[in-house]
Amino acid sequence: MNTLILKTTSRFLFTLLLLLSVFLLLRGHNEPGGGFIGALVAVGAYALFALAHGLTAARKLLPLPPLRLVGWGLLVALLSALVAFFLNKPLMTGVWFSLLGVKVGTPVIFDIGVYLTVFGALLSAIFGLEETADRTPEEAP
Amino acid sequence: METWMALLVGGLSAVGVYLMLRPHLIQFLIGFLVLGNAANLLIFTSGRLGSAFPPLVQPDGTVLAPYANPLPQALILTAIVIGFALAAFGIVLFFRAEQVLKTLNAEAMPERLEAAPAPSPVDEVREERA
Amino acid sequence: MILAVTSAFLGALLAPLVYRWLGQLAGWGLALLPLGLTVYFASLLPTVVAGETVRHSAAWVPTLSVNFSFYLDGLSLLFALLITGIGTFIVIYTGGYLKGHPDLGRFYMTILLFMASMLGLVLADNIVTLFVMWELTSLTSYLLIGFNHTEFRSRRAATQALFVTAGGGLALLAGLVLLAGMGGSWEISELLAKGEVLRAHPWYLGALVLVLVGAFTKSAQFPFHFWLPNAMEAPTPVSAYLHSATMVKAGVYLLARLQPALGGTEVWSSTLMAFGLATLLTGATLTFRHTDLKRLLAYSTVAALGALVFAIGLVPLTSYYGAVGFATFLLAHSLYKGGLFMAAGAVDHEAGTRDINQLSGLFRVMPITGVAVGLSALSLAGLPPVLGFIGKEVLYLAALQAAPAWIIGLAVLGFAVGATLALILTVPFFRGQPPTGVHEGPPSLWLGPVVLAGLGLLVGLFPGLYNPLADAVASAVKGAPTSYHLKLWPGFNPALLLSLLTVAVGVGLYFVYPRLQAWMAQDPLPGPENAYVALLRGLLRLAARLEQTLQSGSLRAYLVWVFAGLSGLVGLALWRGGPFRWPGETSALSPAQLVLVALMLLGGLLVLRLRSHLAMVVVAGIVGAGVALLFLLQNAPDLSITQFLVETLTAILIALVLLQIRNIGEVPRGRWLDKLVALLFGGLVTVLMLGMLSEPIELHLTQFFAEKSLPEGFGRNIVNVILVDFRGLDTFGEITVVGLAGLGVYALLKRLRREEKP
């Protein structure tokens, strides 16, 4: 699958898909989209990139190993739930505040946690399998 | 519409179950996915069909009626993702099973398992200490 | 007080960090926690001695009347002081005894967790709090006995202790719940005031038996005594702390605590005296089988616990001797037994053996430990001028007041073995040549034994120091104000004669000990442990047989059972439910949707006929894409996008695996049974769905979400607002599942990497 066309277009597609995934994530509260969908698009972007340029290159484009992202995602989601707890409201009550003129709320942060978790978990599965696929031919008896 | 959906869901579940009952694990997996789709359709239909608009609030604060029931949609959205996570785990599990036991036939697996017992956790700790 | 217990738990959790930070000095540093708690509880002494009680309560689950309530009177205070005080020295001792052990941080944490739960147990006023703490002590004890978890013997001893004590704990729970129902309160302090109601209640006997089973298993009473000597597989600090000074006294504590409520009946006193005496004699007799220091001490602990239970049985029958004897002997035993265990560990640590036949002349090389052992042994033998003497004297006075002569005779025999054991323990220190290369351990190893033995001597010489607290303890056990003047020299009385007799018999037994030991150690004696082993084996065999029948190992069989069972049960419910109604059609089918539905059905059938796995995956993917299109046509854009993406990624995943699999095998044909089950299930789903659609729908929730989405959730996509706001907790659970699946995949593939390495 090392065709030139795939290699050149994938770079472009990767950026585009990643942008799209963030866009879907952020607009999810008002239009179709959200953390789950955004994460799936991002996984697709990375899977495509890994297919074209190899795993090592794809891994370099990740800020953290995929499983760490799962941990961070769960932590972010949990922390967003705890905010209300510290304001003496029931757990997970939405808290909204304005940041630089943009309305930000704990549900949006929670959705980012969802995004990170789903992205990390699914990507770790795909990367893991691609890794073994890379190795299998060498050690085949 | 409802009757057709009921037939579709029933048909897909039958296909899913039939595939899951086959001893081959890849077919089990496909059956699992088909059954999952059937279940999602069932939940979706239980929220009733016949909508004209998606469940989105207009900027002026109204919802155009008749809108699709958002509740089953929320349920199904997570169900799809969880189903996928479970399927991914299943795929890798079957893959590993095939590597160790050299077969994807679920009926042949128990015999091969008995031939090669797993090391006990205690032995593993001992090895690490040593 | 709530703060005290909570800080103990928090301190325990921080222990590994402290260990990493302080290293070798962690023992001394961590000892500050129990030391601080000791000081705190000591500061409450004047209040409690004045006859007042302290009670703190915080709501936990108020709807179930479960409170985090703590209650302090003389009895709890004595236990709290013992737990924190001895705990201080145990933590210091651990630093020296387990120096450099790779898991020392974990050990500190577990033993401090134990201390916290034990503290919670003796202070608890609420029945549920008491039970939770009770089981926590069982669990931490399990972890501590099995600390050397790579040794089979440790693991076996740990599970045995857990099974026996936690099993008893279940009985205790039932008993306590019965008591709460009978007395109409979940607070022990309130139940104590309702003794007469409880005793007259028809459930009294049942509740009593259940509570006794709980207490007897925990305190190693006959016939449950066998787990305690086996628990000596634990590191010595654990044996000294849990299995002599504190945890095993939890059962005794509970009996003493409930004495005012449950005691006073014929059955209470006779049961406690009978089992106490049986335990005393069992422990005493079995002492003779062993030469290992820790085992000897363990059986002597069993005997002492029997004596304590015996004393509680005597409480209602005697004026005040029983209660005071209990209070005094309890303190004396904790002090000398904790000290002896620590000393035994120190000897083991320095001399490398715990077998008394191989030890000799230790006093010259380990003089400080020797002095501590000597003083503690005096207490064990019940000789003046130490506290053990006073404790035994008052117990004898109690027995003389209430028990028949033959019981007193048996008790003397049981106590006499204490004197024998004292001789067995001290003689190796003074006789024979000192071993070469053995020397006194570091201060951490002898500080505990010396202080505990010194305390025993101090209180023995000046019993007035302990007298006020002893009176408070006795009042709590008796349930009425009690006071008695403790004296070291009570003058010539029958009890003193009994003491002399005890010592004489003990010395006599010492001379036959070597021969008796050789004879008794020959082959394993039959005992209740055999019943335990048989029970466990039977259970395992039953489980194996059940597993063979139910878990055939055939995936297909399981699935047939599940699907056929499901169809059968749901079908039965449908059949009995009422007449079938056809649902009203709410919408006509557009041509596009009709084609889609038909195509999906066709695709499904096609999958069944295909003979290639890759083709099956593709067709199944097309069916999935059809579902996504259907979602789109039915105004569910979120679902549609998600479904498309998931179908794509699934196809990628399966393709990745299919490319790597070598033994793919062929596509087998289905059986007629499979067809039947599948058709049955599919048909049932259709009928079920039609039935469901014929019922009216409740749109209450849907309307709620649609109305509140923008004003309260600040989002216009209702589906997303439900996911991340209204039902956020569900979503959190769901992403946890996704995360776990990712973790599972990682673990599966990581194993692969490890296997490939060599």
Residues ≥6 apart with Cβ < 8 Å to C703: none
Q: What is the CA radius of gyration of chain A?
A: 18
Q: C87: pLDDT confidence band, cut at 50, 70 and 90?
A: very high
Q: Is the pLDDT of residue B114 over 80?
A: no
Check residue C193 and report its DSSP letter. T
What is the structure's pLDDT at C658?
A: 84
Token pair recorded at residue B55 = 């469940």
Which of C83, C383, C376 lies closest to C250 in space, CA to CA? C83
CA distance C339 to C447: 9
Beta-carbon separation of A128 and C746 below 8 A: yes
Q: Please indicate if any CB of chain A lies within 8 Å of the CB of B95.
A: yes
CB-based contact A32 B78, cutoff 8 Å = no
Instruction: Say what the pLDDT of residue B120 is.
Output: 64
**Amino acid symbol at C678:** A
CA-based nearest distance C132→chain A, Å: 26
Q: What pLDDT shows up at residue C332?
A: 92
Locate tokens 């972010």: which residue?
Answer: A76
Say whether A44 and C648 touch across the interface (CB within 8 A): yes
Residue A138: the pLDDT is 45
Q: Is 60 exceeded by the pLDDT of residue C273?
A: yes
Inter-chain CB proximity C742 and A67 less than 8 Å: yes
DSSP at C482: -
Q: What is the distance in angstroms between the Cα of B85 and the nearest Cα belonging to chain A?
A: 7
The confidence score (pLDDT) of residue A102 equals 63
Region B1-29 average pLDDT? 89
pLDDT digits (tens, 9 = 90+) for C616-659: 888 999 999 999 999 998 889 989 999 999 998 898 888 888 88
Tokens of C356: 């008394």
Q: What are the chain B neighbours of A121 within 8 Å (beta carbons)? A: 85
For residue C134, give the amino acid letter.
W
For C215-246, b/e burial (b = at least 16 CB within 10 A) is: bbbbbbbbbbbbbbbbbbbbbbbbbbbbbbbb
Whether residue A63 is preceded by a cis peptide bond, meaning omega within 30 degrees of 0, is no
State the pLDDT at residue A53: 85
Could you tell me which chain C residue has the CA closest to the CA of B6? C686
CA distance C734 to chain B (A): 7
Which residues of chain C are within 8 Å of residue B2 when distances are taken between CB atoms?
A: 583, 585-586, 690, 693
Which of B58-62, B77-81, C129-133 comes out lowest in average pLDDT? B58-62
Residue B10: band (very low, low, confident or very high) from pLDDT cuts 50, 70, 90:
very high
Quick one: how many helices (H) and strands (E) in chain C?
33, 2
Answer whether A20 touches B (CB < 8 Å): no
C264, pLDDT greater than 90: no
CA C617 to chain centre: 51
pLDDT for residue B124: 65
Burial of C143 (0-12, 13-18, 19+ CB in 10 A): buried
Residue C72 near residue C1 (C-beta atoms within 8 A): yes
- Measured distance CA(C14)–CA(C12) in Å, rounded: 5
Half-sphere exposure (Cβ direction) of C370: Cα atoms closer than 13 Å: 17
Candidates C719, C735, C756: best to mutate against A (most CBs of A within 10 A) is C735
Residue that wins the pLDDT comparison between C300 and C712? C300
Q: What is the band of C252 on the pLDDT scale with cuts at 50, 70, 90?
A: very high
Residues of chain A with confidence (pLDDT) below 50? 137-141
CA angle C59/C211/C165 to nearest 5° reads 90
**Contact by Cβ (8 Å): C463, C488:** yes
Integer Cα distance of C285 and C521 in angstroms: 12
Q: What is the band of B73 on the pLDDT scale with cuts at 50, 70, 90? A: very high
pLDDT tens, position by position, C448-468? 999 999 999 998 888 888 888
Alpha carbon separation from C320 to C74, C325, C389 (Å, rounded): 15, 8, 18
**Whole-number mean pLDDT of chain C?**
87
- C587 in helix, strand or coil? coil
Other C-beta atoms within 10 Å of C160: how many? 22
pLDDT at residue A139, as a whole number: 44
* Token pair 């044996």: residue: C239
Rg (CA), chain C: 34
Tokens read off for B65: 């009626």
Are the C-beta atoms of residues C386 and C457 closer than 8 Å to each other?
yes
- Residues of B (3-62) whose Cβ lies below 8 Å from C: 3-15, 17-24, 26-30, 33-34, 37-38, 40-42, 44-59, 61
Q: Stretch C106-126: mean pLDDT, rounded?
A: 92
pLDDT value for C651:
87
Judged by CB atoms within 8 Å, which residues 118-137 of A form the interface with B?
118, 121-122, 125-126, 128-129, 132
State residue C36's pLDDT score: 92
The pLDDT of residue C229 is: 87
Query: pLDDT for C204-245, tens place per residue?
Result: 999 999 999 999 999 999 888 888 888 888 888 898 898 888
In percent, the amount of chain C with pLDDT more than 90 equals 27
Q: Do B91 and C657 touch (CB under 8 A)?
A: yes
Kindly report the number of other CB atoms within 10 A of residue A132's CB atom.
20
pLDDT of C89 reads 92
Residues contacting C285, CB < 8 A, separation 6+:
C417
Find the closest chain C residue to A82 by CA distance. C729
Neighboring chain B residues of A125 at a CB cutoff of 8 Å: 88-89, 91-92
Which residues make Cβ contacts (< 8 Å) with residue A60, sequence separation at least 6?
none
**Contact at CB, B89 and A129, closer than 8 angstroms:** no
d(CA C54, CA C44): 9
The continuous run of DSSP H or E covering C721 comes out as helix C718-721
Question: Looking at the partner chain, which of C613, C634, C717 has a beta carbon nearest the beta carbon of B56?
Answer: C717
**Chain C residues with beta carbon closer than 8 angstroms to that of B56:** 716-718
C-alpha span between C247 and C276 (Å, rounded): 17
Say if the Cβ atoms of B92 and A129 lie within 8 Å: yes
What interface predicted TM-score (ipTM) does this complex get? 0.89
Kindly identify which residue of chain C lies nearest to residue B21, measuring between CA atoms. Answer: C556
Q: List chain A residues with CB under 8 Å of B78.
A: 36
* Cross-strand partners of C243: none
* Interface contact A28-C720, CB threshold 8 A: yes
Best C643, C688, C745 member to test B by mutation, with max B CBs in 10 Å, is C745
Q: So what's the pLDDT on residue C587?
A: 67
Nearest CA in chain A to C736: A74
| C634 lies within 8 A of chain A by CB | no
Q: Is the minimum CB–CB distance between C658 and chain A shorter than 8 Å? A: no
Using pLDDT thresholds of 50, 70 and 90, give the confidence band for residue C667.
low
Domains of chain B are 2-53+66-129 (1.10.287.3510)
Least confident range of B53-62, B84-93, C681-690: B53-62
The CA distance from B14 to C524, in Å, is 62
* Alpha helices (H) along C610-636: 613-633
B85 shares contact with chain A (CB less than 8 Å) = yes
Query: Is B2 close to C690, i.e. CB distance below 8 A?
Result: yes
DSSP track, B42-60: HHHHHT----SB-SBB-TT
Residue C58 backbone zone (phi > 0: left; psi -120 to 50: alpha; other: beta): beta
Q: How many CB atoms lie within 10 A of CB A68?
A: 14
The rounded distance, in Å, linking the Cα atoms of C333 and C336 is 5
What residues of A are in contact with residue C711 (Cβ under 8 Å)?
none
Query: Which range among A65-69, B113-117, C669-673 shows the weakest confidence by mean pLDDT?
Result: B113-117
List Cα–Cα distances, C243 to C92, C114, C610, in angstroms.
Answer: 18, 12, 68
- For residues C91 and C28, what is the distance between their CA atoms, to the nearest angstrom? 7
Residue B67 C-alpha, separation from nearest chain A C-alpha, in angstroms: 14
The pLDDT value given to residue C558: 87
Whole-angstrom Cα distance, residue C64 to residue C75? Answer: 27
Give C312's pLDDT tier (boundaries 50, 70, 90): very high
B77·A36 Cβ contact <8 A: yes
Contact C10, C46 (CB under 8 A): no
B80, B85, B95 ranked by CB distance to A121: nearest: B85
CB contact under 8 A, A129 and B95: yes
- The confidence score (pLDDT) of residue A140 equals 40
